[in-house]
Structure 1
Amino acid sequence: MTIAEEHHVDAAAGGRRGGTRAAQRTRVLVRVGMLGAAAFALMFTEFNIPGFPVFLQYDPGDVPALIGGFAMGPLAGASVSLVKGVLFLLSGKDEAGWLGTAANLATSLSLVLTAALVYARVRTRKGAVLGLALGTLTMVGVMAVLNYYFFLPIWGVPAAALGETVRMTMLFNLVKGVLTSTLTFLVYKKVSPLLRA
Protein backbone atom coordinates (compact mmCIF):
# COMPACT_ATOMS: atom_id res chain seq x y z
CA MET A 1 0.00 0.00 0.00
CA THR A 2 1.37 3.39 -0.95
CA ILE A 3 1.59 6.37 1.38
CA ALA A 4 -1.26 8.03 -0.51
CA GLU A 5 -3.42 4.92 -0.11
CA GLU A 6 -2.61 4.72 3.61
CA HIS A 7 -3.56 8.39 4.01
CA HIS A 8 -6.85 7.73 2.20
CA VAL A 9 -7.65 4.78 4.51
CA ASP A 10 -6.80 6.81 7.63
CA ALA A 11 -8.92 9.72 6.43
CA ALA A 12 -11.85 7.41 5.72
CA ALA A 13 -11.55 5.82 9.17
CA GLY A 14 -11.39 9.25 10.78
CA GLY A 15 -14.46 10.31 8.85
CA ARG A 16 -16.36 7.27 10.06
CA ARG A 17 -15.33 7.97 13.65
CA GLY A 18 -16.37 11.60 13.29
CA GLY A 19 -19.68 10.55 11.78
CA THR A 20 -20.21 8.08 14.61
CA ARG A 21 -19.54 10.74 17.23
CA ALA A 22 -21.94 13.13 15.52
CA ALA A 23 -24.59 10.43 15.37
CA GLN A 24 -24.08 9.67 19.07
CA ARG A 25 -24.44 13.34 19.98
CA THR A 26 -27.61 13.53 17.92
CA ARG A 27 -29.05 10.46 19.67
CA VAL A 28 -28.25 11.94 23.07
CA LEU A 29 -29.89 15.25 22.16
CA VAL A 30 -33.01 13.47 20.91
CA ARG A 31 -33.24 11.38 24.08
CA VAL A 32 -32.68 14.40 26.30
CA GLY A 33 -35.50 16.16 24.46
CA MET A 34 -37.82 13.19 24.84
CA LEU A 35 -37.04 12.79 28.54
CA GLY A 36 -37.43 16.54 29.06
CA ALA A 37 -40.86 16.43 27.43
CA ALA A 38 -41.83 13.45 29.60
CA ALA A 39 -40.63 15.28 32.72
CA PHE A 40 -42.63 18.35 31.69
CA ALA A 41 -45.77 16.23 31.24
CA LEU A 42 -45.28 14.58 34.63
CA MET A 43 -45.24 17.99 36.30
CA PHE A 44 -48.97 18.20 35.58
CA THR A 45 -49.62 15.16 37.80
CA GLU A 46 -48.73 17.13 40.94
CA PHE A 47 -50.62 16.43 44.14
CA ASN A 48 -50.56 17.43 47.78
CA ILE A 49 -48.86 15.11 50.26
CA PRO A 50 -51.01 14.74 53.40
CA GLY A 51 -49.61 16.69 56.32
CA PHE A 52 -48.06 19.45 54.19
CA PRO A 53 -49.54 22.83 53.14
CA VAL A 54 -51.30 22.89 49.78
CA PHE A 55 -48.63 25.15 48.25
CA LEU A 56 -46.13 22.30 48.58
CA GLN A 57 -47.06 19.99 45.73
CA TYR A 58 -45.27 16.79 44.70
CA ASP A 59 -44.78 15.69 41.11
CA PRO A 60 -42.54 12.92 39.70
CA GLY A 61 -41.00 15.21 37.07
CA ASP A 62 -37.45 14.51 38.27
CA VAL A 63 -37.73 10.77 37.54
CA PRO A 64 -36.94 11.16 33.79
CA ALA A 65 -34.02 13.46 34.66
CA LEU A 66 -32.58 10.87 37.04
CA ILE A 67 -33.05 8.13 34.46
CA GLY A 68 -31.27 10.27 31.87
CA GLY A 69 -28.47 11.05 34.32
CA PHE A 70 -27.94 7.38 35.15
CA ALA A 71 -28.12 6.18 31.55
CA MET A 72 -26.25 8.99 29.75
CA GLY A 73 -24.31 10.85 32.42
CA PRO A 74 -24.70 13.85 34.75
CA LEU A 75 -24.70 16.44 31.96
CA ALA A 76 -27.57 14.68 30.19
CA GLY A 77 -29.54 14.47 33.43
CA ALA A 78 -29.00 18.17 34.11
CA SER A 79 -30.06 18.96 30.54
CA VAL A 80 -33.32 17.06 31.04
CA SER A 81 -33.98 19.13 34.17
CA LEU A 82 -33.29 22.32 32.22
CA VAL A 83 -35.60 21.33 29.35
CA LYS A 84 -38.34 20.50 31.84
CA GLY A 85 -37.97 23.85 33.59
CA VAL A 86 -37.90 25.92 30.41
CA LEU A 87 -40.97 24.16 29.00
CA PHE A 88 -42.90 24.69 32.24
CA LEU A 89 -41.95 28.36 32.37
CA LEU A 90 -42.95 28.92 28.74
CA SER A 91 -46.24 27.10 29.30
CA GLY A 92 -47.33 29.76 31.79
CA LYS A 93 -48.64 27.07 34.14
CA ASP A 94 -46.30 27.97 36.98
CA GLU A 95 -48.23 30.44 39.12
CA ALA A 96 -44.97 31.50 40.80
CA GLY A 97 -43.47 32.49 37.44
CA TRP A 98 -39.71 32.56 36.98
CA LEU A 99 -39.09 32.31 40.72
CA GLY A 100 -41.03 29.06 40.99
CA THR A 101 -39.21 27.70 37.95
CA ALA A 102 -35.85 28.70 39.45
CA ALA A 103 -36.68 26.95 42.72
CA ASN A 104 -37.83 23.84 40.88
CA LEU A 105 -34.68 23.83 38.75
CA ALA A 106 -32.41 24.23 41.78
CA THR A 107 -34.21 21.35 43.49
CA SER A 108 -33.93 19.15 40.42
CA LEU A 109 -30.27 19.91 39.65
CA SER A 110 -29.07 19.33 43.21
CA LEU A 111 -30.77 15.92 43.26
CA VAL A 112 -29.98 14.78 39.72
CA LEU A 113 -26.37 15.95 39.46
CA THR A 114 -25.36 14.44 42.80
CA ALA A 115 -27.06 11.10 42.13
CA ALA A 116 -25.71 10.84 38.57
CA LEU A 117 -22.15 11.78 39.58
CA VAL A 118 -22.10 9.06 42.25
CA TYR A 119 -23.59 6.47 39.89
CA ALA A 120 -21.05 7.39 37.18
CA ARG A 121 -18.30 6.30 39.59
CA VAL A 122 -20.09 3.27 41.08
CA ARG A 123 -22.26 1.71 38.38
CA THR A 124 -23.90 -0.92 40.57
CA ARG A 125 -27.21 -1.30 42.38
CA LYS A 126 -25.52 -0.11 45.56
CA GLY A 127 -24.08 2.85 43.66
CA ALA A 128 -27.54 3.80 42.47
CA VAL A 129 -28.96 3.60 45.99
CA LEU A 130 -26.04 5.59 47.39
CA GLY A 131 -26.38 8.19 44.64
CA LEU A 132 -30.10 8.60 45.22
CA ALA A 133 -29.61 8.86 48.98
CA LEU A 134 -26.83 11.44 48.70
CA GLY A 135 -28.78 13.28 46.01
CA THR A 136 -31.78 13.54 48.31
CA LEU A 137 -29.68 14.82 51.21
CA THR A 138 -27.91 17.31 48.93
CA MET A 139 -31.25 18.56 47.65
CA VAL A 140 -32.55 19.03 51.20
CA GLY A 141 -29.41 20.94 52.24
CA VAL A 142 -29.10 23.11 49.13
CA MET A 143 -32.75 24.09 49.16
CA ALA A 144 -32.68 24.85 52.90
CA VAL A 145 -29.97 27.45 52.25
CA LEU A 146 -31.56 28.86 49.09
CA ASN A 147 -35.01 29.02 50.67
CA TYR A 148 -33.74 30.78 53.78
CA TYR A 149 -31.60 33.39 52.05
CA PHE A 150 -33.24 33.80 48.66
CA PHE A 151 -36.55 32.24 47.67
CA LEU A 152 -38.64 32.67 50.83
CA PRO A 153 -37.65 36.33 51.45
CA ILE A 154 -38.50 37.18 47.82
CA TRP A 155 -41.84 35.41 48.24
CA GLY A 156 -42.51 37.72 51.18
CA VAL A 157 -42.26 35.23 54.05
CA PRO A 158 -41.75 37.25 57.28
CA ALA A 159 -38.33 36.93 58.91
CA ALA A 160 -39.95 35.57 62.08
CA ALA A 161 -41.47 32.69 60.10
CA LEU A 162 -38.40 31.79 58.04
CA GLY A 163 -37.02 29.17 60.41
CA GLU A 164 -40.27 27.22 60.73
CA THR A 165 -41.00 27.46 57.00
CA VAL A 166 -37.52 26.21 56.09
CA ARG A 167 -37.87 23.25 58.49
CA MET A 168 -41.19 22.37 56.87
CA THR A 169 -39.74 22.57 53.35
CA MET A 170 -36.76 20.45 54.42
CA LEU A 171 -39.09 17.70 55.58
CA PHE A 172 -41.12 18.01 52.38
CA ASN A 173 -38.00 17.79 50.21
CA LEU A 174 -36.87 14.73 52.15
CA VAL A 175 -40.20 13.00 51.44
CA LYS A 176 -40.04 14.21 47.83
CA GLY A 177 -36.55 12.80 47.42
CA VAL A 178 -37.54 9.43 48.86
CA LEU A 179 -40.60 9.17 46.60
CA THR A 180 -38.70 10.24 43.47
CA SER A 181 -35.77 7.94 44.26
CA THR A 182 -38.08 4.98 44.83
CA LEU A 183 -39.88 5.53 41.52
CA THR A 184 -36.56 5.91 39.69
CA PHE A 185 -35.15 2.74 41.25
CA LEU A 186 -38.26 0.78 40.26
CA VAL A 187 -38.39 1.84 36.60
CA TYR A 188 -34.76 2.50 35.64
CA LYS A 189 -33.77 -1.03 34.67
CA LYS A 190 -36.89 -1.37 32.53
CA VAL A 191 -36.30 1.74 30.44
CA SER A 192 -32.51 2.17 30.46
CA PRO A 193 -31.91 -0.32 27.58
CA LEU A 194 -34.04 1.92 25.35
CA LEU A 195 -31.74 4.86 26.08
CA ARG A 196 -28.60 2.88 25.31
CA ALA A 197 -29.83 1.29 22.07
Structure 2
Amino acid sequence: MKYVNVKKMVVFSMLAALSYALVTLGFPLLPNFPFLKLDFGDIPVLIGTFIYGIGGGVSVAFIRSLLHFVITGAGMLNLVGDFASFLATVLYLIPIHMIYQRKKGKKNAFLGVIIATVFLTIFMTIANYFVLTPLYVKLLGFSYGIPMKQVMITGIIPFNLIKGLAVGGIYVVVQQKMLVWLSSKLYQNKKI
Protein backbone atom coordinates (compact mmCIF):
# COMPACT_ATOMS: atom_id res chain seq x y z
CA MET A 1 0.00 0.00 0.00
CA LYS A 2 2.85 2.39 0.82
CA TYR A 3 4.36 1.70 -2.62
CA VAL A 4 1.11 2.81 -4.29
CA ASN A 5 1.02 6.12 -2.40
CA VAL A 6 4.69 6.86 -3.14
CA LYS A 7 4.18 5.93 -6.79
CA LYS A 8 1.13 8.21 -7.04
CA MET A 9 2.99 11.07 -5.39
CA VAL A 10 5.89 10.67 -7.82
CA VAL A 11 3.56 10.60 -10.84
CA PHE A 12 1.60 13.62 -9.54
CA SER A 13 4.85 15.51 -8.96
CA MET A 14 6.26 14.68 -12.40
CA LEU A 15 3.04 15.66 -14.16
CA ALA A 16 2.81 18.86 -12.10
CA ALA A 17 6.42 19.76 -12.94
CA LEU A 18 5.78 19.17 -16.65
CA SER A 19 2.57 21.18 -16.38
CA TYR A 20 4.43 24.04 -14.67
CA ALA A 21 7.12 24.00 -17.39
CA LEU A 22 4.42 24.23 -20.08
CA VAL A 23 2.72 27.09 -18.21
CA THR A 24 5.99 29.07 -18.24
CA LEU A 25 6.04 28.73 -22.04
CA GLY A 26 2.64 30.43 -22.29
CA PHE A 27 2.19 33.42 -24.56
CA PRO A 28 -0.42 36.20 -24.79
CA LEU A 29 -3.18 35.26 -27.19
CA LEU A 30 -5.15 38.49 -27.49
CA PRO A 31 -3.17 41.75 -27.85
CA ASN A 32 -5.56 43.83 -25.73
CA PHE A 33 -5.45 41.29 -22.90
CA PRO A 34 -1.77 40.37 -22.34
CA PHE A 35 -2.53 38.67 -19.01
CA LEU A 36 -4.59 36.00 -20.82
CA LYS A 37 -1.88 33.56 -21.86
CA LEU A 38 -2.32 30.44 -23.94
CA ASP A 39 -0.33 27.60 -22.44
CA PHE A 40 -0.57 23.85 -22.64
CA GLY A 41 -0.07 23.15 -18.94
CA ASP A 42 -3.46 21.45 -18.70
CA ILE A 43 -2.36 18.54 -20.92
CA PRO A 44 -0.32 16.80 -18.16
CA VAL A 45 -3.20 17.52 -15.76
CA LEU A 46 -5.61 15.79 -18.14
CA ILE A 47 -3.23 12.83 -18.42
CA GLY A 48 -3.21 12.63 -14.62
CA THR A 49 -7.02 12.73 -14.71
CA PHE A 50 -7.12 9.92 -17.25
CA ILE A 51 -4.83 7.73 -15.13
CA TYR A 52 -6.05 8.56 -11.60
CA GLY A 53 -9.50 10.08 -12.07
CA ILE A 54 -10.77 13.52 -11.12
CA GLY A 55 -8.98 13.48 -7.76
CA GLY A 56 -5.68 12.78 -9.50
CA GLY A 57 -6.19 15.60 -11.99
CA VAL A 58 -7.17 18.04 -9.26
CA SER A 59 -4.07 17.01 -7.27
CA VAL A 60 -1.78 17.62 -10.24
CA ALA A 61 -3.45 20.98 -10.94
CA PHE A 62 -3.12 22.01 -7.28
CA ILE A 63 0.57 21.08 -7.11
CA ARG A 64 1.19 22.95 -10.38
CA SER A 65 -0.61 26.07 -9.13
CA LEU A 66 1.15 25.94 -5.77
CA LEU A 67 4.51 25.53 -7.50
CA HIS A 68 3.77 28.48 -9.79
CA PHE A 69 2.64 30.62 -6.85
CA VAL A 70 5.76 29.87 -4.80
CA ILE A 71 8.21 30.34 -7.69
CA THR A 72 6.67 33.49 -9.18
CA GLY A 73 6.22 35.22 -5.86
CA ALA A 74 3.57 34.92 -3.21
CA GLY A 75 1.85 38.23 -3.95
CA MET A 76 -1.85 38.96 -4.01
CA LEU A 77 -1.88 39.37 -7.81
CA ASN A 78 -0.25 35.95 -8.28
CA LEU A 79 -2.68 34.43 -5.81
CA VAL A 80 -5.64 35.65 -7.88
CA GLY A 81 -4.02 34.46 -11.13
CA ASP A 82 -3.08 31.04 -9.79
CA PHE A 83 -6.51 30.58 -8.23
CA ALA A 84 -8.14 31.50 -11.56
CA SER A 85 -5.87 29.05 -13.38
CA PHE A 86 -6.63 26.26 -10.89
CA LEU A 87 -10.38 26.94 -11.06
CA ALA A 88 -10.34 26.95 -14.87
CA THR A 89 -8.40 23.68 -14.97
CA VAL A 90 -10.79 21.92 -12.58
CA LEU A 91 -13.85 23.24 -14.44
CA TYR A 92 -12.30 21.95 -17.67
CA LEU A 93 -11.16 18.49 -16.57
CA ILE A 94 -14.39 17.37 -14.90
CA PRO A 95 -16.63 17.31 -18.03
CA ILE A 96 -13.88 15.78 -20.17
CA HIS A 97 -13.38 12.97 -17.67
CA MET A 98 -17.09 12.35 -17.04
CA ILE A 99 -17.99 12.16 -20.73
CA TYR A 100 -15.04 9.94 -21.62
CA GLN A 101 -15.82 7.58 -18.73
CA ARG A 102 -19.38 7.08 -19.97
CA LYS A 103 -18.24 5.92 -23.39
CA LYS A 104 -14.65 5.60 -24.54
CA GLY A 105 -13.37 6.50 -27.98
CA LYS A 106 -11.90 9.34 -29.97
CA LYS A 107 -15.33 10.72 -30.91
CA ASN A 108 -16.40 10.97 -27.27
CA ALA A 109 -13.03 12.41 -26.29
CA PHE A 110 -13.61 15.26 -28.77
CA LEU A 111 -17.22 15.62 -27.59
CA GLY A 112 -15.88 15.92 -24.04
CA VAL A 113 -13.48 18.66 -25.16
CA ILE A 114 -16.27 20.63 -26.83
CA ILE A 115 -18.62 20.35 -23.85
CA ALA A 116 -15.80 21.11 -21.40
CA THR A 117 -14.83 24.18 -23.44
CA VAL A 118 -18.40 25.51 -23.34
CA PHE A 119 -18.64 24.72 -19.60
CA LEU A 120 -15.29 26.41 -18.94
CA THR A 121 -16.23 29.46 -20.99
CA ILE A 122 -19.58 29.97 -19.27
CA PHE A 123 -18.27 29.57 -15.73
CA MET A 124 -15.05 31.52 -16.23
CA THR A 125 -17.00 34.36 -17.86
CA ILE A 126 -19.23 34.53 -14.78
CA ALA A 127 -16.24 34.29 -12.40
CA ASN A 128 -14.33 36.94 -14.34
CA TYR A 129 -17.30 39.29 -14.62
CA PHE A 130 -18.17 39.27 -10.94
CA VAL A 131 -14.91 38.46 -9.11
CA LEU A 132 -11.62 37.83 -10.93
CA THR A 133 -11.39 40.75 -13.36
CA PRO A 134 -12.64 43.32 -10.82
CA LEU A 135 -10.00 41.99 -8.39
CA TYR A 136 -7.26 42.34 -11.02
CA VAL A 137 -8.40 45.87 -11.83
CA LYS A 138 -8.43 46.81 -8.14
CA LEU A 139 -5.03 45.20 -7.38
CA LEU A 140 -3.33 46.72 -10.42
CA GLY A 141 -5.10 50.04 -10.08
CA PHE A 142 -6.04 50.40 -13.73
CA SER A 143 -9.12 50.55 -15.90
CA TYR A 144 -9.78 48.95 -19.28
CA GLY A 145 -11.57 52.04 -20.49
CA ILE A 146 -14.38 49.85 -21.80
CA PRO A 147 -17.39 48.35 -19.99
CA MET A 148 -16.90 45.00 -18.23
CA LYS A 149 -19.37 43.40 -20.66
CA GLN A 150 -17.08 44.39 -23.53
CA VAL A 151 -14.07 42.89 -21.70
CA MET A 152 -15.95 39.59 -21.49
CA ILE A 153 -17.05 39.64 -25.15
CA THR A 154 -13.71 40.68 -26.65
CA GLY A 155 -11.35 39.01 -24.17
CA ILE A 156 -12.54 36.39 -21.72
CA ILE A 157 -15.00 34.50 -23.94
CA PRO A 158 -12.79 34.20 -27.07
CA PHE A 159 -9.75 33.34 -24.93
CA ASN A 160 -11.50 30.48 -23.12
CA LEU A 161 -12.99 29.12 -26.35
CA ILE A 162 -9.63 29.15 -28.14
CA LYS A 163 -7.67 27.77 -25.19
CA GLY A 164 -10.23 25.05 -24.43
CA LEU A 165 -10.33 23.78 -28.01
CA ALA A 166 -6.55 24.05 -28.56
CA VAL A 167 -5.58 22.31 -25.32
CA GLY A 168 -8.31 19.70 -25.71
CA GLY A 169 -7.47 18.97 -29.33
CA ILE A 170 -3.82 18.39 -28.50
CA TYR A 171 -4.74 16.32 -25.43
CA VAL A 172 -6.98 14.00 -27.47
CA VAL A 173 -4.21 13.45 -30.04
CA VAL A 174 -1.65 12.79 -27.28
CA GLN A 175 -4.09 10.56 -25.39
CA GLN A 176 -4.86 8.50 -28.50
CA LYS A 177 -1.14 8.08 -29.26
CA MET A 178 -0.44 7.05 -25.66
CA LEU A 179 -3.65 5.05 -25.17
CA VAL A 180 -2.03 1.63 -24.80
CA TRP A 181 0.47 2.92 -22.24
CA LEU A 182 -2.09 5.07 -20.42
CA SER A 183 -4.59 2.20 -20.33
CA SER A 184 -1.99 -0.10 -18.79
CA LYS A 185 -1.38 2.51 -16.07
CA LEU A 186 -5.13 2.85 -15.55
CA TYR A 187 -5.45 -0.95 -15.25
CA GLN A 188 -2.55 -1.10 -12.77
CA ASN A 189 -4.17 1.60 -10.63
CA LYS A 190 -7.52 -0.20 -10.53
CA LYS A 191 -5.81 -3.48 -9.64
CA ILE A 192 -4.04 -1.99 -6.65
Q: TM-score, normalised by structure 1?
A: 0.80
Task: Please say if residues 46 and 58 of structure 1, whose CA atoms lie closer than 8 Å, have aligned partners that are also in contact.
Answer: yes
Question: Shift in Å at residue 45 of structure 1?
Answer: 0.5
In the other structure, the counterpart of 1:10 is: none
In the other structure, the counterpart of 2:173 is: 186
- Equivalent positions of 1:1-197 (< 5 A) are 19=1, 22-49=2-29, 53-92=33-72, 96-156=77-137, 161-167=147-153, 168-192=155-179, 193=181, 196=185
Supply the distance in 2 between the matched residues of 1:123 and 1:94 (Cα, whole angstroms).
41
Task: Please say if residues 106 and 176 of structure 2, whose CA atoms lie closer than 8 Å, have aligned partners that are also in contact.
Answer: no
The gaps in structure 2 that reach 5 residues or longer are: 138-142
Aligned CA distance change for structure 1 residues 190 and 23 (closer, same or farther; 3 Å): farther
Task: Please say if residues 70 and 120 of structure 1, whose CA atoms lie closer than 8 Å, have aligned partners that are also in contact.
Answer: no
Alignment deviations for residues 127-146 of structure 1 (CA, whole Å, 9 cap, x no partner): 21121111111110110110
The structure, 1 or 2, with the larger RCO (C-alpha pairs under 8 Å, 6+ apart) is 2
Supply the distance in 1 between the matched residues of 2:30 and 2:101 (Cα, whole angstroms).
35
The gaps in structure 1 that reach 5 residues or longer are: 1-18
Q: Percent identity?
A: 24
Q: CA RMSD in A?
A: 2.3
Alignment deviations for residues 65-102 of structure 1 (CA, whole Å, 9 cap, x no partner): 11111232111111111111110001126883101111
- Structure 1 runs of 4+ aligned residues shifted over 4 Å read 157-160
Supply the distance in 2 between the matched residues of 1:52 and 1:158 (Cα, whole angstroms).
9
Alignment deviations for residues 10-49 of structure 1 (CA, whole Å, 9 cap, x no partner): xxxxxxxxx4xx4334333321221111101111111122
Supply the distance in 2 between the matched residues of 1:158 and 1:54 (Cα, whole angstroms).
12
SS in 2 for 1:49: strand
- Look up the equivalent residue of 2:149 and give its one-letter code: G
SS in 1 for 2:34: coil
Aligned CA distance change for structure 1 residues 39 and 93 (closer, same or farther; 3 Å): farther
Aligned CA distance change for structure 1 residues 50 and 101 (closer, same or farther; 3 Å): closer
How many residues are aligned here? 177
Q: Which shifted more, 25-34 or 161-170?
A: 25-34
- Look up the equivalent residue of 1:34 and give its one-letter code: M
Q: TM-score, normalised by structure 2?
A: 0.82
Aligned CA distance change for structure 1 residues 51 and 160 (closer, same or farther; 3 Å): closer
Task: Please say if residues 153 and 159 of structure 1, whose CA atoms lie closer than 8 Å, have aligned partners that are also in contact.
Answer: no
SS in 1 for 2:35: coil
Task: Please say if residues 52 and 172 of structure 1, whose CA atoms lie closer than 8 Å, have aligned partners that are also in contact.
Answer: no
Aligned CA distance change for structure 1 residues 46 and 160 (closer, same or farther; 3 Å): closer
